[in-house]
Structure 1
């Protein structure tokens, strides 16, 4: 007995509707009622942290005042330890990912660490449109010596020349923290 094309189409429609229902049910069960289309993810070793933009102007480029305010708030959040953060050792590998629509606009990522020959800043991902992941880099090449390294991810349309969204993550050096703990116990 063979299936005709109407039966096959009907079965296909049932599968699509069923998959959409399951996907929606999972999102509702997880407490997510809307899709997060602007996310960045920091991967350290085998763990990752996803975050909404730290600075965002509803999809429009940030004004100069908004950019200044963003930098001020980020500096304070880093000082207060209130940025999404991850512990990292020099032997870990680090990568950054973004949502597909962020990748379509264009993005780049960097750290405030690295060799002094690079001015103390290391590119994790040079500006590009399309790719959603930076690839993995050795943490030792992007960490700074303070024990706290700031990772910056920027969504930007090169034509607008102003960021659309900015994410910040904090890397806490395990070796630096272990040294501080040992010093305070001694």
Structure 2
């Protein structure tokens, strides 16, 4: 009778171990690598977003059709910016390592950045330059696009979209 109890105990432990390993493998297979985050802060308000759906090349440069589609997208998370405020933009270290650039209403960044954080005057983000006349006007709302650049190819690998609204 004792031998039967010992055997049953070992079987239970083995079954529990197999069950735990199986559950762990199922859990791991359901996990996806999270997309990097971008963060925009104005005053005391911060919004964070994953890559815009359809604008993630998963480490590879986006094709021309996808880039055009992503550049025409509007929206994303919204943040209100007061006149004269600084707008701070942050990206994760892996994005900074690749290099990134901000695209707004006008030319926001002349050169790609390898830093995880940059700060901009709100006026620069709301400025719209007319390509025909060269005159600058200001808009009340702009879609801010952050693009992770792809190494030697230089094109974007991923893009984030945020809507900036100017506070009255």
Superposition TM-score, scaled by structure 2 size: 0.67
Find the counterpart in structure 2 of residue 109 from structure 1. 102
Find the counterpart in structure 2 of residue 42 from structure 1. 40
Does the 8 Å contact 1:91/1:138 carry over to 2? Answer: yes
Find the counterpart in structure 2 of residue 85 from structure 1. 78
3-state SS, counterpart of residue 48 of structure 1: strand
Deviations 1:24-53 (A, max 9, x none): xxxxxxxxx877451111111121111111
Q: Is it true that 1:133 corresponds to 2:117 in the alignment? A: yes
5+ residue gaps, structure 1, are 1-32, 113-120, 176-186
In structure 2, do the counterparts of structure 1 residues 65 and 110 end up closer, same or farther at CA, with 3 Å as the change threshold? closer
5+ residue gaps, structure 2, are 1-30, 128-137
Find the counterpart in structure 1 of residue 89 from structure 2. 96
- Counterpart CA distance in 2 for 1:128 and 1:94 is 16
3-state SS, counterpart of residue 154 of structure 1: strand
Which protein has the larger Cα radius of gyration, Structure 1 or Structure 2?
2
Runs of 4+ aligned residues of structure 1 deviating over 3 Å after TM superposition are 33-37
In structure 2, do the counterparts of structure 1 residues 58 and 158 end up closer, same or farther at CA, with 3 Å as the change threshold? closer
3-state SS, counterpart of residue 126 of structure 1: coil
> How many angstroms does 1:100 deviate by?
0.7
In structure 2, do the counterparts of structure 1 residues 38 and 71 end up closer, same or farther at CA, with 3 Å as the change threshold? same
- Counterpart CA distance in 2 for 1:89 and 1:124 is 21
In structure 2, do the counterparts of structure 1 residues 125 and 133 end up closer, same or farther at CA, with 3 Å as the change threshold? farther
Does the 8 Å contact 1:111/1:124 carry over to 2? Answer: no
Does the 8 Å contact 2:143/2:162 carry over to 1? Answer: yes
Size of the aligned set, in residue pairs, is: 126
Superposition TM-score, scaled by structure 1 size: 0.61
Structure with more helix by fraction: 1
Find the counterpart in structure 1 of residue 49 from structure 2. 51
Deviations 1:36-74 (A, max 9, x none): 4511111111211111111112121100111122223x1
> How many angstroms does 1:91 deviate by?
2.4
